[in-house]
Structure 1
Amino acid sequence: MAAEPAHPLRNHIRVERARHDLTQEQLAELVGVTRKTINTVETGKFIPSTVLALKLARALHTRVDELFYLDDTD
């Protein structure tokens, strides 16, 4: 079982990717990063920069605050 991230930042990237029928590789190309970067952001292992978060939101046709959220259950 995967370890939970130590920070409360969560995201809906996987859901939005599926909604737009994009692979991690395709999304990575759209925003100018590697597939591994998309994977680590998606799984919560990496917190994206503001610039990357904005690029992801733009590529997925959504707002940053709808793509990323804080898990306040901690």
Structure 2
Amino acid sequence: MEYKQNNECERIRELKESDIGVVTPYKDNVNEIKYQLSQLYPKVTVGSVEKYQGSEKAVIIFSAVRTEGIGFLSDP
């Protein structure tokens, strides 16, 4: 187990910003995450599920959304 952990840590150290992508379902979330990451991690790509369809990155972070209300879901 120790070898595997060390091996994984080494692989993480080798990652570049451009190897990382963030996927989120809604346009407003894409814009907010891009804004928040832009100064520190400008090469991390952020997009909707549609943007990433057919693409790949070494690491994908999925940002789920939570809201106080149910919004459009209340409108059948």
Answer whether TM exceeds 0.5 for this pair.
Answer: no
Larger Rg over CA atoms? 2
TM-score, length basis structure 1: 0.28
Q: Which of the two has greater strand per residue?
A: 2
TM-score, length basis structure 2: 0.28
Q: Which of the two has greater helix per residue?
A: 1
